[in-house]
Amino acid sequence: MERPRVVREDGALDGDVVRAVLAGDVDRYAELVQRYRDKYARYAARMLGSLDAADDAVQDAFIRAYEQLAQCRDPANFAGWFFLILRNRCFAERRSSGRLGKRTSLESDPVAAPDDAGRRLEDEELRQRLQRELMELTPEQREVFVLKHIEELSYEEIAARIGGSVAALKMRMHRAYDRLRERLTREEART
């Protein structure tokens, strides 16, 4: 993944903000929180299956990133480093309550700005079914699916972000395709 040079009209480079926080200006950490609060929220929501869980995970990740800020080797790439902390936090969910296996209905989740009242009911059902089945994948399989088909990264970009070879990622994805196909065709056969 290329290192984003995040420049905002109103603010400083990420690297400068990180350095300022490390130098003692703790209040400026809020700039990073505001910048990245929503950037990886969709990833967290799709990985964890609910908005509440995503909120918790992103909050925890920001706090942990602050605690470990001195270990951020490349402050200019705070975004990438923060993503890895969030990722670890998402993966850690499975070690606790087993929430990841739960079938979570996202229907009542005010997940996003409402976009399309005209979406067909069929597609809405399919969307929910797909999300449910994603939660039945292993976290690693779900992650590659989310990064490729929801975050719309290429395999190369995914490899740059989370490590591993493109070939290994493809294998993981293809196993995910198999499992999705298996579960969804079985479900279709039942209906």
Partner 1 sequence: MSEMHSLVKRLLDGELGLAELPVELRAEGEWALRLLAAADRRDVRLGAGLDARVMAAVRRAAPEPSSAWRWIVRPFELRLAIRPWAALAAAAVLILLVVARPFGRGVPSASRAAVPESVVVRFVLYAPSAHAVSVAGSFNQWDRGATPLVPAGHSGLWAATVTLAPGQHQYAFVVDGRQWVVDPGAPAVDDGFGRRNSLITVGAPAGDKSL
Partner 2 sequence: MKTLALVSILAFAGTPLAAQQGVDAQLAGRVAPDVAAAVRTLADSAMRAGLPSDPLVQKAIEGAAKGVPAPQIIAALETVLGRLDQAAAAIRAAGVAQPDAETVVAGAFAASAGMPASAVTALARVQTAKTPAAALLRIAGTLAAIGVPSPQAVSLVVAAARSGGDVTAVLDLPARVESAVARGVTPVQAAEGLARAAAHGGLPQSPGGGRGNSGSHRP
Closest of 25, 45, 36 to residue 90, by C-alpha: 45
- Comparing CB distances to partner 2, the nearer of 73 and 190 is 73
* End-to-end CA gap in the chain: 43
Partner interacting with residue 186 (select from partner 2, partner 1, none; CB below 5-8 Å by kind): partner 1
- 15/140 Cα distance (integer angstroms): 30
- 113/16 Cα distance (integer angstroms): 32
Closest of 50, 112, 53 to residue 86, by C-alpha: 53
Residue 88 touching partner 2 (CB under 8 A): no
- 32/73 Cα distance (integer angstroms): 16
Quote the least distance from Cβ 174 to partner 2, whole Å: 40
With left for phi above 0 and alpha for psi between -120 and 50, is residue 49 left, alpha or beta? left
Residues 18 to 77 in contact with partner 1, rule: CB under 8 A: 26-27, 29-30, 33-34, 37-38, 41-42, 44-46, 51, 54-55, 58-59, 62-63, 66-67
- Comparing CB distances to partner 1, the nearer of 130 and 160 is 130
- 5/117 Cα distance (integer angstroms): 37
Residues found near partner 2 in the complex (CB under 8 A): 12, 15-16, 19-20, 22-25, 28, 67-71, 75
Binding site for partner 1 (CB under 8 A): 26-27, 29-30, 33-34, 37-38, 41-42, 44-46, 51, 54-55, 58-59, 62-63, 66-67, 106, 111-113, 115, 123, 126-127, 129-131, 145, 148-150, 152, 155, 170, 173-174, 177-178, 180-182, 184-186
